[in-house]
Structure 1
């Protein structure tokens, strides 16, 4: 169970299954589009990835990785709904590289019509290049996604997911961890020992948004 100083909510963390992929893809998109510390016109998810109503390709991608990528661990946070059924409200996706990980350059892919394909590929290409620059050839853990539905923020769910993910990595002998932080997650990650490496700057005006969006790369290493 988890709680916070401000509010409490009974929830539990479980390994996600193949049956959860569609729901998890939807929650990820909603959480990213409804960022609380970023204006909509400067929100990468809103501007280049588009609306959160069609996540079928992402769900397919998650299913494929869950079936075939042994490095990936996906957790779901569930509460009981009014009918006593489990309801997923948050998630985290980690990759644990227990052997030296060679990071390859991003290869452009197709995107749904609602997304800005050029912008999506440019963003992921630059994020991959930065991760390659700092982490390729290393043994490390990578937090790829941490997302909570907006109405369930403030209950300590993010902290609980971070603890679980780091504990899993530590249990497997990892001491080096990497992530890309949004404005919403940055303070949380700092509390868990992550420090800024360098920002990944995206000019959203090229894709119909406003200003420069900065996604900060962060790393947690032993003291």
Structure 2
């Protein structure tokens, strides 16, 4: 179960993992309530997003995958993956004013209002909320950090330590590259795992479109190699996300 670097050739497998895993998380229904009526759109734009993430030219993003045998004695397939914002590398190279690549916005612009699987107000608020929450809770830390954008494991392979192995790989990278922290916007689905791994909660925040009763409650969490807890305020904020 040792993670390896995700490659462009993994796009079909990674898309399969996300489509079969993320409906377990409430934020997927919140953003894509019409995916059953329009499965072709749902697959098309989900795959497009991971084409960007797996493209080596999008080097602000790093995908790591884990393979296992779906059938006993069968060949190994991708059963889990994680996506990290590692733009700290380019910020070290070009300076803190460097602007991180944004594949999510590119996919949304290409889909526009013709994309039928999504609630566009929820989708946009979800992404805008993530940006607001990241700035509020982690902006003062500066560029020397990485962010776990998404972590997904096929349901039949959960509770086997696969998600933990991906997180531990990234935690070691934080230590090796002397970063200040790794952040994540955690849903209830992932909160228990991150707490067990030693992440600390630094704030609670909400996804909410004005005028609606429906909202998502999420947690801003961080892992720091040192056990220092000074200077991090625990508070509430509006906006955020767990997955892209």
Is the pair's TM-score, using the shorter chain for normalization, greater than 0.5?
yes
Asked if the contact 1:44–1:204 (Cα under 8 Å) also holds between the matched residues in 2, the reply is no
The gaps in structure 2 that reach 5 residues or longer are: 229-244
Structure 1 residue runs of 5 or longer lacking an equivalent are 1-10, 36-42
* Alpha-carbon separation, structure 2, partners of 1:81 and 1:146: 19
Counterpart pick for 2:218 among 212, 215, 219: 215
- Residue in 1 that maps onto 2:119: 116
Paired residue for 1:80?
69
Change (3 A) 1:89 1:23: same
User: RMSD over aligned Cα, in angstroms?
Assistant: 2.8
TM-score for the superposition, normalised by structure 2: 0.73
> Matched residues in 1 for 2:209 and 2:131: separation?
18
1:138 equivalent in structure 2: 143
- TM-score, normalisation: structure 1: 0.79
Query: Is the contact between residue 208 and residue 214 of structure 2 (CA under 8 Å) also seen in structure 1?
Result: yes
Taking the TM superposition and a 5 Å limit, the aligned residue runs for 1:30-179 are: 30-35=20-25, 43-50=26-33, 51=35, 53=39, 54-67=42-55, 68-82=57-71, 84-96=74-86, 97-98=88-89, 99=91, 100=96, 109=109, 110=112, 112-136=115-139, 137-179=142-184
Post-superposition CA distance 1:34-91 (Å, at most 9, x none) = 24xxxxxxx1211322337423223222222332222322111111244632211111
Higher helix share: 2
Offset, 1:115: 0.7
Instruction: Check conservation: 1:22, 1:55, Cα contact below 8 A.
Output: no
- Once the 2 structures are TM-superposed, how far is the Cα of residue 122 of structure 1 from its aligned partner? 0.7
Residues 196/101 of structure 1: CA separation in 2 closer, same or farther (3 Å cut)? farther
Deviating above 4 A after TM superposition, structure 1's stretches of 4 or more consecutive aligned residues are: 101-108, 204-207
**Size of the alignment, in residue pairs?**
204
CA contact (8 A) 1:123 1:202 kept: yes
